[in-house]
Structure 1
Amino acid sequence: MMEMLIPIIVTLVGAATPILIAALGELVAEKSGVLNLGVEGMMLVGAIAGFVAQFYTGNPYLALLCGAFAGAAVSLIFAFLTLSLSANQTATGLALTIFGTGLSALAGAPYSAKPIALMAPLFPDMLARDPFWRVLFGYSFPVYFSFFMVAAIWWFLKRTRTGLILRAVGENDHSAHSIGYSVVGVRYAAVVFGGAMAGIAGACFPLLLTPQWAESMTAGRGWIAVALVVFASWRPLRLLAGAYLFGLVMTMELYAKAGGGVLAIIPSELWAALPYLATIAVLVLISLRRDASTNAPACLGKPFMPAN
Structure 2
Amino acid sequence: MLGPEMLASAIRLAVPVIITAVGAIYSERSGVINIGLEGMMIAGCFTGAAVAFYAGPYAGILAAMTAGALFALIHAVASVHFRVDQIVSGVAINILAYGVVRFSSLSIFNMATTTPHVDCLPKVTIPGLAAVPWLEPLVSKVSPLIFLAFLLIPFTAWVMNRTVFGLRLRSVGEHPLAAETLGVNVYLMKYCGVLISGALAGLSGAYLSIEHTQMYVEGMTQGLGFIALAAMIFGNWMPLGAMWAGLLFGFAQALSLRVVTEAIPYQFIKMVPYILTIVVLAGFVRRSRAPAAVGVPYERGEAA
Q: Same fold (TM over 0.5)?
A: yes
CA distance in 2, matches of 1:12, 1:189: 31
- Answering whether residue 27 of structure 2 is matched by residue 29 of structure 1, we say yes
Q: What percent of counterpart residues are identical?
A: 31
Which of 221, 226, 233 is residue 229 of structure 2 equivalent to?
Answer: 226
2:234 is aligned with 1:240? no
Aligned match for 2:216, one of 200, 213, 220: 213
Is 1:161 matched up with 2:159?
A: no
Structure 1: runs of 5 or more not aligned? none
Q: Residue 117 of structure 2 aligns with which residue?
A: 115
Distance in 2 between residues matched to 1:88 and 1:211, nearest whole Å: 36
Partner of 1:152: 155
Structure 1 residue 62 and structure 2 residue 59: aligned? yes
In 1: Cα distance, 2:25 partner to 2:268 partner: 29
2:81 matched residue in structure 1 = 84
Q: Distance in 1 between matches of 2:150 and 2:13?
A: 14
Paired amino acid for 2:242: L
Match of 1:133 among 121, 136, 141: 136
- Is contact 1:75–1:195 with CA below 8 Å preserved after alignment? yes
How far is 1:113 from its partner? 5.5
Counterpart Cα distance in 2 of 1:41 and 1:79:
14
- Contact persistence 2:5–2:137 (CA under 8 A): no
Aligned counterpart in structure 2 of residue 19 of structure 1, from 17, 20, 27: 17
Q: 1:40-82: per-residue Cα shift (whole Å, max 9, x none)? A: 000000011110111112x222211111011001100000011
What's the CA shift string for 1:111-158, capped at 9, x where partnerless? Answer: 535222333312379974764333224311110101111010001111
Distance 1:181 1:270, change over 3 A: same
- Deviation of 1:5 after TM superposition, in Å, equals 1.7
Bigger drift between 6-15 and 32-41 goes to 6-15
Which residue, 171, 178, 183 being the options, matches 2:181?
178
1:94-125, CA deviations, whole angstroms, 9 ceiling, x for partnerless residues?
A: 11111111212222232535222333312379
AA aligned to 1:251 is A
Aligned-residue CA RMSD (Å)? 2.0
1:33 and 1:297 in contact (8 A); partners too: yes
Q: TM-score normalized by structure 2?
A: 0.91
Task: Give 3-state SS (helix, strand or coil) of 1:165's partner.
Answer: helix
Q: Please, which runs of 5 or more residues in structure 2 have no aligned partner?
A: none
Which runs of structure 1 show a deviation greater than 6 angstroms over 4 or more consecutive aligned residues?
124-127
